[in-house]
Amino acid sequence: MSETISLRPIAAEDAPFLYHVYASTRREELAPVPWTEEQKEAFLHMQFTAQHGYYQEHYAAASFDLILCDGKYAGRLYVDRRARELRIVDIALLPAYRNRGIGSRLLSDLIAEASAAGKPVTIHVEHNNPALRLYQRLGFRQVDTSGIYLLMECPAAPAAARA
C-alpha cells in the first residue's frame, strides 16, 4: 500500500469533520428508525456532543488525533496511554477509507508500541461492530463484557520477544 498515513492532534475547528466521522459510523443503524432525516441529524448531533464531551473529560490525558491518508482527512484515533495498558478510546474511518488496510496499520503500530513497553492494548467494541473480526485477526481476545460492549485485549508480547 503506497498511501501515507499520518496523525495530527484535533483542534476546535475540526468539530464538523469529527461529527461527520461519528455520524458515518451510526447512519446504518439509524436507517430503519422511522424518524425524519432532520430528527436523525438532531439525534446524531446530540449523541456526538455527549460522546465528545465524555471523552474529553474522562480521558483528559489521551491523544485525540485526526487520521490523514495522503494528507486527506480520513478518520479519528483517540488513544489513552495508561501506566498498565494502552487503551484505544476510539478509532473510526470514513466509509471511503474502510477496508483499505488503514485501520490494520494503525492498530498494528499501537500493538507494537504497547508491546515494546510491555503493556497490553485494550478497546471496548460493540458486539455487532464489523471491525470485531479485524481486532480478532490482530490478536485481540474478549476479556470482559458489559452491556453492548466487549472489552477486547491484545496482550503484550512476551519479554523475550521484545528483546
Question: Average pLDDT over the chain, rounded to whole?
Answer: 93
Q: What domains does the chain contain, in order, with CATH numbers?
A: 5-162 (3.40.630.30)
On the question of pLDDT at 6 being above 60, the answer is yes
C-alpha to C-alpha distance for 66 and 89, rounded to whole angstroms: 13
Given phi > 0 = left and psi -120 to 50 = alpha, else beta, which region is 118? left
Q: Which of 25-34, 82-91, 150-159 reaches the highest mean pLDDT?
A: 82-91
On the question of pLDDT at 162 being above 50, the answer is no
On the question of pLDDT at 1 being above 80, the answer is no
* H or E, element range at 122: strand 121-126
Q: Using one digit for the tens of pLDDT, what is the confidence trace for 111-143?
A: 999 999 999 999 999 888 889 999 999 999 999
What count of other Cβ atoms lies within 10 Å of the Cβ of residue 34?
5
On the question of pLDDT at 160 being above 80, the answer is no
C-alpha to C-alpha distance for 6 and 12, rounded to whole angstroms: 19
On the question of pLDDT at 35 being above 60, the answer is yes
Residue 47: pLDDT band with limits 50, 70, 90 = very high
DSSP code for 39: H
On the question of pLDDT at 148 being above 90, the answer is no
Chain center to CA of 97: 14
On the question of pLDDT at 92 being above 70, the answer is yes
